[in-house]
Amino acid sequence: MKVRQYLFSLLFGLTGSAMALGGYALFSKNDPYQSVANSQNAAIARYARYAPDGSVNFTTASAIATPAVVHIKSVSAGTASRDNSRRGSDAFGFPFDFFDNFDMRRGPSQSAGSGVIISNDGYIVTNNHVIDDAEKLEVTLSDNRTFTGTVIGTDPSTDLALIKIDAKELPNLKFGDSDKLLIGEWVLAVGNPFNLTSTVTAGIVSAKGRNINILDDRFKIESFIQTDAAVNPGNSGGALINTGGELIGINTAIASQTGSYAGYAFAVPANIVRKVVDDLLQFGTVQRGFLGVSIQDVNANLAKEEDLSVSRGVYVSGVNDNSAAQEAGMKKGDVIIKVEEQTVNTASELQEQVGRHRPGDKLKLTVLRSNKELPIVVTLKNQAGTTEFATKERTSSLKDLGAEMESVSGQDKKDYDVAFGVRVDRVYAGKLRSAGVREGFVITHVDKTPVKTPTEVAKALEGKQGAVLIEGTYGKGNRTAYAVMF
C-alpha cells in the first residue's frame, strides 16, 4: 500500500512538474530575460567542470592548455630600438616584455612573451608586439625543448602574429567560439608572466567588445574580451581558455599605471584570431573587407540630437564615395543594429564582425532609418575600393631591404598626396631599418626612377652597389629621402 502511495505521489509530482515546466516554457517564449537565462544554462552545461564538493574544477582545462602554451624569447639587435610609448597611453600598458640590462642603442635587447600552439606541426599564434623587430625567436615548449621560430605573417591591426617551429606531434589547442562567451563566465589565462613558465590564473569574463585605444594601426580592430584573470608582463600572446579547455582569446594587454596587473586584462577574441591565422596561412597577408563608413557609438545625447528611437547601436556619420556602403544604399544617419543575426551595440563590435570577412563577402546588415528597421546587403571591398584580394610581394631584393610592401591604394594616394608609390607595411632587420626607414613610408622613387609596385622597387635595385637614394613621404608635406647602402 505504501509503495502504491509512493508511486502515485511520484507520478503526480512528475506530472505536475511537467505541466509547470510546459506552462513556464510557453510563458517564457517571448521573455527576453528567460532567453538570457537559457543561454547561461547552456553555457554552464557546455563548459563547467565540477569537483566532488560542487566547486568549479579547473584542473582538466589546465591540463589541456599548459602543454600547448610556449615561452617566446625575442632577441633584437642594438640598433633596433623599440617604441614603448604605447605603455603610457590612457593608462593602459602592454603586458608583454621585459628588457635585460643592455642599452638597446649599444647592445642586443631581449624580450619575452607567450604563444599558443594551434596545430600539431608547429604553428604558433602570439601577439605582434611580442615578436616585433625580432631578429631571432627562441621558442621553449612546456617540456623544455627549444626551437627557433620563423615568422609566417603578422597583423598589426589586431596585434596578432603567426610563427612556426620545425616540430611534429605537438600538443595544441582547439579554437572555441568567442561569440558564445557570457559575461561572468569562468576563464583561465595561461602563459609565462615574469618568466615563470606554465602559469595558470582564473577569473571571469568582465566585459566584451572593449575598445581601449591601445593599437596604433590605421585599420586597427579593438574588440577585446575583458577579464579579471591575473595577467602580467610575459603573458602576452598566451591563451585565454574556457573551462572546457578551448582557446577563446589571445591575452594582449592590461589596464595598469605601473605595468603590472591591476585588476583588468584584455584578450583578442578567438573568432578574430582564427580568421587572421587562416588569412596568413592562405595568402601571407590579412584580407580585410571594409564598409567604407564613418561611425560612432549611439548614446543618450546622440539619440536626443538625432531623434533616434534607440540609445544603442552604431551611428553612420558619413559614407565614403565608391564604398561598399554607398553601393548598397546606406545613408548618413543610419543606425546599424545587426550584422547578420548578431546584435551590435558599439562601433568596436561592428568592427569585429566586419573584420572577420574578406573583400567580396556579402553581409546582411540591419539598420534603423527614420526609426524603422531596414535590411541592407553589402558586398565588402578592400582598401582600393575593389573586391580583389591583397598580395604581398617579397623578392630577394626586398628581403635584403627587410620589408613587406604593397602598392598604394586610392585612399592612400589621397592620404599621402601622391599619384603613385609603394607603402612599407613592415620593416624587419635589413637595409631599410639600418637607414632609418619606418613603417608607413611610401617610396615614390629609387635613384630618381619612379616606382609603382614592389616588383618595380626590386627591379630598380637590381645590380646596385654603394649608396642608393630612396625618396618618398610619410604624409602630406613630409617628403623624405634616405641613402641606403648596398
Task: Give φ, ψ of 254 to 5 degrees.
Answer: -130, 155
DSSP state of 390: P
Q: How confident is the model at residue 462 (pLDDT cuts 50, 70, 90)?
A: confident
Band (pLDDT 50/70/90 cuts) for residue 90 is very low
Check 74, 76, 109, 236 and give the catalytic one.
236
Active-site residue, selected from the candidate residues 97, 111, 114, 129: 129
**Closest of 399, 449, 457, 395 to residue 423, by C-alpha:** 457
Q: Is 129 a catalytic residue?
A: yes
In sequence order, which ranges of 334-448 are alpha helices (DSSP H)?
347-355, 396-401, 410-416, 431-435
Is it the case that residue 14 has pLDDT exceeding 50?
no
270-283 vs 347-355: helix crossing angle, rounded to 10: 40
Can 236 be counted among the known catalytic residues? yes
Rounded to 5 degrees, φ, ψ at 107 are: -140, 180
Q: Is the pLDDT of residue 97 over 50?
A: no
Task: Give the up-direction half-sphere exposure of residue 338: CA atoms within 13 A in the CB hemisphere.
Answer: 12
What are the pLDDT digits (tens) for 249-279?
A: 999 988 776 777 778 899 999 999 999 999 9
Q: How far apart are CA 372 and CA 379, in angstroms?
A: 22
Residues 6+ apart with CB under 8 A from 449: 460
Q: What does each C-alpha distance from 254 to 182, 206, 226, 246, 453 come to in angstroms?
A: 20, 13, 9, 22, 39
Q: What b/e string do you get for 10-20 counting C-beta neighbours within 10 Å, with b at 16 or more?
A: eeeeeeeeeee
Indicate which residue of 159, 279, 334, 425 is catalytic: 159
pLDDT band at 137 (very low <50, low <70, confident <90, very high): very high
The yes-or-no verdict on residue 95 having pLDDT over 80 is no
DSSP assigned state of 242: E
Residue 364, beta-bridge partner list: 377
pLDDT digits (tens, 9 = 90+) for 181-214: 999 999 999 999 987 888 999 999 999 999 888 8
Distance CA 179, CA 343 (A): 11
In this predicted structure, the answer to whether residue 37 has a pLDDT above a threshold of 80 is: no
